[in-house]
Amino acid sequence: MSTPPLLAQLLDDAAVFPPGSAALPDAVSAHRVHRTAWYAGLVGPLLVPASQLGQLAPLLTPGETLAVGVIGDGSLADCFAVPPTGVRVVQVEAAMARRGENPLPVLSSFTALLREHDLRGFAEIPLAWGLLAALDTLAEARTGGLDVSAKFRTGGLAAELFPTPMELAAVIIACHERQLPFKLTAGLHHAIRHTDPETGFTHHGFLNVLAAACAAADGLEVTEVAGLLATTQPLTLIEAVRTRRSRPRPLWCGFGTCSIPEPLADLQKLGLLDGSA
Protein backbone atom coordinates (compact mmCIF):
# COMPACT_ATOMS: atom_id res chain seq x y z
CA MET A 1 0.00 0.00 0.00
CA SER A 2 1.19 3.49 -0.81
CA THR A 3 1.11 5.88 2.15
CA PRO A 4 -0.33 9.30 1.25
CA PRO A 5 2.46 11.92 1.13
CA LEU A 6 0.62 13.91 3.79
CA LEU A 7 1.13 11.04 6.25
CA ALA A 8 4.57 9.78 5.16
CA GLN A 9 6.83 8.97 8.15
CA LEU A 10 4.43 10.74 10.49
CA LEU A 11 5.23 8.35 13.37
CA ASP A 12 8.69 7.94 14.86
CA ASP A 13 8.87 4.72 16.87
CA ALA A 14 9.42 5.73 20.52
CA ALA A 15 8.50 2.35 22.01
CA VAL A 16 11.27 2.38 24.64
CA PHE A 17 10.10 5.71 26.09
CA PRO A 18 7.29 6.29 28.63
CA PRO A 19 4.50 5.51 28.96
CA GLY A 20 5.17 2.43 26.82
CA SER A 21 8.69 1.82 28.18
CA ALA A 22 9.31 -1.32 26.12
CA ALA A 23 12.53 -3.25 26.69
CA LEU A 24 15.04 -2.53 23.92
CA PRO A 25 15.04 -6.11 22.49
CA ASP A 26 11.23 -6.03 22.30
CA ALA A 27 11.28 -2.59 20.68
CA VAL A 28 13.76 -3.71 18.00
CA SER A 29 11.69 -6.82 17.21
CA ALA A 30 8.47 -4.80 16.97
CA HIS A 31 10.17 -2.16 14.81
CA ARG A 32 11.19 -4.85 12.32
CA VAL A 33 7.52 -5.76 11.99
CA HIS A 34 6.53 -2.12 11.47
CA ARG A 35 9.20 -1.62 8.80
CA THR A 36 7.92 -4.57 6.75
CA ALA A 37 4.18 -4.09 7.32
CA TRP A 38 1.68 -2.62 4.86
CA TYR A 39 1.81 0.64 6.79
CA ALA A 40 5.65 0.90 6.72
CA GLY A 41 5.55 4.24 4.86
CA LEU A 42 3.88 5.77 7.91
CA VAL A 43 6.77 4.86 10.24
CA GLY A 44 10.03 6.73 10.81
CA PRO A 45 13.13 5.53 12.65
CA LEU A 46 13.35 3.73 15.98
CA LEU A 47 14.16 6.28 18.69
CA VAL A 48 16.85 5.16 21.14
CA PRO A 49 18.37 6.95 24.16
CA ALA A 50 22.02 7.79 23.58
CA SER A 51 22.92 5.70 26.64
CA GLN A 52 21.45 2.57 24.99
CA LEU A 53 22.96 2.99 21.53
CA GLY A 54 25.78 0.53 22.24
CA GLN A 55 23.28 -2.15 23.30
CA LEU A 56 21.82 -2.48 19.80
CA ALA A 57 24.59 -4.52 18.12
CA PRO A 58 23.75 -7.94 19.59
CA LEU A 59 20.07 -7.41 18.78
CA LEU A 60 20.64 -7.20 15.01
CA THR A 61 20.59 -10.08 12.59
CA PRO A 62 23.63 -10.66 10.31
CA GLY A 63 23.70 -8.06 7.56
CA GLU A 64 20.84 -6.05 9.05
CA THR A 65 20.90 -2.25 9.06
CA LEU A 66 18.77 -0.44 11.61
CA ALA A 67 17.98 3.26 11.16
CA VAL A 68 17.71 5.02 14.52
CA GLY A 69 17.16 8.45 15.97
CA VAL A 70 19.37 9.15 18.97
CA ILE A 71 17.67 10.92 21.90
CA GLY A 72 19.94 12.79 24.30
CA ASP A 73 19.75 11.54 27.87
CA GLY A 74 23.21 12.65 29.01
CA SER A 75 25.83 14.97 27.58
CA LEU A 76 25.54 16.34 24.05
CA ALA A 77 28.74 14.52 23.11
CA ASP A 78 27.08 11.18 23.95
CA CYS A 79 24.53 11.80 21.20
CA PHE A 80 27.29 11.81 18.61
CA ALA A 81 29.15 8.66 19.67
CA VAL A 82 30.12 6.27 16.87
CA PRO A 83 27.23 3.79 16.48
CA PRO A 84 27.74 0.01 16.48
CA THR A 85 28.08 -1.90 13.22
CA GLY A 86 24.69 -2.22 11.55
CA VAL A 87 23.24 0.88 13.21
CA ARG A 88 22.71 3.96 11.05
CA VAL A 89 21.99 7.19 12.91
CA VAL A 90 19.58 9.28 10.83
CA GLN A 91 18.79 12.01 13.35
CA VAL A 92 19.80 13.35 16.75
CA GLU A 93 17.40 14.99 19.21
CA ALA A 94 18.34 16.81 22.40
CA ALA A 95 16.84 19.25 24.88
CA MET A 96 18.40 22.70 24.76
CA ALA A 97 17.25 23.92 28.18
CA ARG A 98 14.86 23.42 31.05
CA ARG A 99 11.91 25.78 31.33
CA GLY A 100 13.18 29.23 32.38
CA GLU A 101 16.75 28.62 31.15
CA ASN A 102 18.34 30.30 28.14
CA PRO A 103 18.45 27.69 25.33
CA LEU A 104 20.95 29.59 23.15
CA PRO A 105 24.27 28.38 24.68
CA VAL A 106 23.39 24.68 24.31
CA LEU A 107 21.83 25.35 20.92
CA SER A 108 25.12 26.81 19.69
CA SER A 109 27.00 23.67 20.76
CA PHE A 110 24.33 21.40 19.28
CA THR A 111 24.37 23.02 15.85
CA ALA A 112 28.17 22.91 15.80
CA LEU A 113 28.13 19.17 16.51
CA LEU A 114 25.47 18.55 13.86
CA ARG A 115 27.62 20.36 11.31
CA GLU A 116 30.74 18.45 12.36
CA HIS A 117 29.03 15.06 12.07
CA ASP A 118 26.80 15.96 9.10
CA LEU A 119 23.62 14.80 10.82
CA ARG A 120 19.98 15.85 10.91
CA GLY A 121 19.01 17.34 14.25
CA PHE A 122 15.99 18.33 16.32
CA ALA A 123 16.55 20.94 19.00
CA GLU A 124 13.96 20.68 21.77
CA ILE A 125 12.99 24.19 22.84
CA PRO A 126 10.83 24.90 25.93
CA LEU A 127 7.67 26.89 25.26
CA ALA A 128 8.92 29.63 27.52
CA TRP A 129 11.40 32.49 27.72
CA GLY A 130 13.94 32.51 24.90
CA LEU A 131 11.72 30.62 22.46
CA LEU A 132 11.62 33.14 19.61
CA ALA A 133 15.35 33.85 19.76
CA ALA A 134 16.01 30.11 19.57
CA LEU A 135 13.70 29.77 16.56
CA ASP A 136 15.53 32.63 14.85
CA THR A 137 18.84 30.87 15.50
CA LEU A 138 17.53 27.60 14.07
CA ALA A 139 16.13 29.35 10.99
CA GLU A 140 19.46 31.06 10.41
CA ALA A 141 21.30 27.74 10.74
CA ARG A 142 18.99 26.20 8.14
CA THR A 143 19.65 29.10 5.80
CA GLY A 144 23.30 28.22 6.18
CA GLY A 145 22.62 24.68 4.97
CA LEU A 146 22.27 22.83 8.30
CA ASP A 147 19.50 20.21 8.50
CA VAL A 148 18.15 21.24 11.88
CA SER A 149 14.57 21.66 13.08
CA ALA A 150 12.71 22.61 16.23
CA LYS A 151 11.10 20.17 18.64
CA PHE A 152 8.38 20.93 21.20
CA ARG A 153 6.67 19.01 23.99
CA THR A 154 2.90 18.74 23.89
CA GLY A 155 2.36 16.78 27.11
CA GLY A 156 3.89 15.13 30.12
CA LEU A 157 3.21 14.12 33.71
CA ALA A 158 1.73 17.47 34.78
CA ALA A 159 -1.09 19.61 33.39
CA GLU A 160 1.19 22.62 32.82
CA LEU A 161 3.24 20.58 30.33
CA PHE A 162 0.30 20.56 27.90
CA PRO A 163 0.31 23.83 25.92
CA THR A 164 -3.05 25.46 25.28
CA PRO A 165 -4.41 25.51 21.72
CA MET A 166 -3.49 29.19 21.47
CA GLU A 167 0.07 28.57 22.73
CA LEU A 168 0.63 25.73 20.29
CA ALA A 169 -0.97 27.68 17.44
CA ALA A 170 1.38 30.60 18.10
CA VAL A 171 4.38 28.25 17.91
CA ILE A 172 3.16 26.68 14.66
CA ILE A 173 2.65 30.14 13.15
CA ALA A 174 6.09 31.24 14.37
CA CYS A 175 7.67 28.22 12.65
CA HIS A 176 5.67 28.90 9.48
CA GLU A 177 6.85 32.52 9.41
CA ARG A 178 10.46 31.28 9.57
CA GLN A 179 9.87 28.29 7.24
CA LEU A 180 11.26 26.20 10.10
CA PRO A 181 10.24 22.51 10.28
CA PHE A 182 9.22 21.24 13.71
CA LYS A 183 8.59 17.98 15.51
CA LEU A 184 6.35 17.25 18.51
CA THR A 185 6.66 14.77 21.33
CA ALA A 186 4.60 13.58 24.30
CA GLY A 187 0.84 13.46 24.71
CA LEU A 188 -0.21 12.81 21.12
CA HIS A 189 -1.74 9.40 21.69
CA HIS A 190 -4.87 9.78 19.55
CA ALA A 191 -6.04 11.60 16.45
CA ILE A 192 -8.66 13.85 18.05
CA ARG A 193 -8.30 16.18 21.03
CA HIS A 194 -9.58 14.40 24.13
CA THR A 195 -9.47 14.27 27.92
CA ASP A 196 -7.79 11.29 29.55
CA PRO A 197 -10.30 9.85 32.06
CA GLU A 198 -7.54 8.64 34.39
CA THR A 199 -5.45 11.81 34.64
CA GLY A 200 -7.96 14.48 33.67
CA PHE A 201 -5.37 15.96 31.28
CA THR A 202 -6.66 17.21 27.93
CA HIS A 203 -4.42 15.88 25.15
CA HIS A 204 -3.83 17.42 21.76
CA GLY A 205 -4.90 15.25 18.82
CA PHE A 206 -2.36 14.55 16.10
CA LEU A 207 -5.04 15.09 13.43
CA ASN A 208 -5.73 18.48 15.04
CA VAL A 209 -2.03 19.30 14.69
CA LEU A 210 -1.98 18.11 11.08
CA ALA A 211 -4.96 20.30 10.24
CA ALA A 212 -3.36 23.23 12.07
CA ALA A 213 -0.08 22.83 10.18
CA CYS A 214 -1.96 22.77 6.88
CA ALA A 215 -3.96 25.84 7.89
CA ALA A 216 -0.80 27.75 8.83
CA ALA A 217 0.72 26.85 5.46
CA ASP A 218 -2.41 28.26 3.80
CA GLY A 219 -1.93 31.56 5.62
CA LEU A 220 -4.68 31.33 8.24
CA GLU A 221 -4.41 33.52 11.33
CA VAL A 222 -3.41 32.26 14.76
CA THR A 223 -6.99 32.27 16.11
CA GLU A 224 -8.18 30.06 13.24
CA VAL A 225 -5.25 27.70 13.72
CA ALA A 226 -6.00 27.57 17.45
CA GLY A 227 -9.62 26.74 16.64
CA LEU A 228 -8.51 23.66 14.70
CA LEU A 229 -6.32 22.58 17.60
CA ALA A 230 -9.21 23.02 20.03
CA THR A 231 -11.98 21.25 18.12
CA THR A 232 -13.14 17.75 19.02
CA GLN A 233 -15.18 17.35 15.82
CA PRO A 234 -13.62 14.67 13.58
CA LEU A 235 -15.45 15.77 10.43
CA THR A 236 -14.06 19.30 10.73
CA LEU A 237 -10.51 17.93 10.85
CA ILE A 238 -11.02 15.31 8.15
CA GLU A 239 -12.29 17.95 5.76
CA ALA A 240 -9.37 20.21 6.65
CA VAL A 241 -6.78 17.63 5.56
CA ARG A 242 -8.50 15.37 3.00
CA THR A 243 -7.73 17.55 -0.03
CA ARG A 244 -4.04 17.63 0.93
CA ARG A 245 -3.53 13.86 1.08
CA SER A 246 -1.48 13.81 -2.12
CA ARG A 247 0.82 16.66 -1.05
CA PRO A 248 3.77 16.56 1.39
CA ARG A 249 3.06 17.53 4.99
CA PRO A 250 3.86 21.23 5.47
CA LEU A 251 6.69 21.85 7.99
CA TRP A 252 5.49 19.36 10.64
CA CYS A 253 8.02 16.52 10.61
CA GLY A 254 5.78 14.29 12.73
CA PHE A 255 5.90 12.99 16.29
CA GLY A 256 7.31 10.23 18.44
CA THR A 257 4.83 7.68 19.72
CA CYS A 258 5.40 4.80 22.11
CA SER A 259 2.57 2.87 20.42
CA ILE A 260 2.48 2.74 16.62
CA PRO A 261 -0.78 0.69 16.62
CA GLU A 262 -2.80 3.42 18.40
CA PRO A 263 -2.41 6.21 15.83
CA LEU A 264 -2.54 3.64 13.03
CA ALA A 265 -5.95 2.42 14.26
CA ASP A 266 -7.25 6.00 14.54
CA LEU A 267 -6.17 6.84 10.97
CA GLN A 268 -7.93 3.76 9.65
CA LYS A 269 -11.06 4.44 11.68
CA LEU A 270 -11.25 7.97 10.29
CA GLY A 271 -10.81 6.77 6.71
CA LEU A 272 -7.49 8.55 6.19
CA LEU A 273 -5.37 5.44 5.68
CA ASP A 274 -6.51 2.50 3.62
CA GLY A 275 -5.15 -1.01 3.93
CA SER A 276 -5.23 -3.87 6.36
CA ALA A 277 -2.83 -5.80 8.53
The DSSP 8-state label assigned to residue 178 in this structure reads H
Q: Is the pLDDT reported for residue 81 higher than 70? A: yes
Q: Domain extents for the chain? A: 160-270
Local confidence band at 1 (pLDDT 50, 70, 90 cut-offs): low
Give the model's pLDDT for residue 277: 36
Give the model's pLDDT for residue 274: 74
Q: What is the mean pLDDT of the chain?
A: 96
Task: Give tens-digit pLDDT for 96-133.
Answer: 998 889 999 999 999 999 999 999 999 999 999 899 99
Element (H, E) at 263: helix 261-269
Q: Are 8 and 252 in contact (CB under 8 A)?
A: no
Task: Give tens-digit pLDDT for 195-213.
Answer: 999 999 999 999 999 999 9
Percent of the chain with pLDDT over 90: 94
Q: Judge residue 14's burial from the number of C-beta atoms within 10 Å of its C-beta, 0-12 exposed, 13-18 middle, 19 or more buried.
A: buried
Task: Give tens-digit pLDDT for 217-259.
Answer: 999 999 999 999 999 999 999 999 999 999 999 999 999 999 9
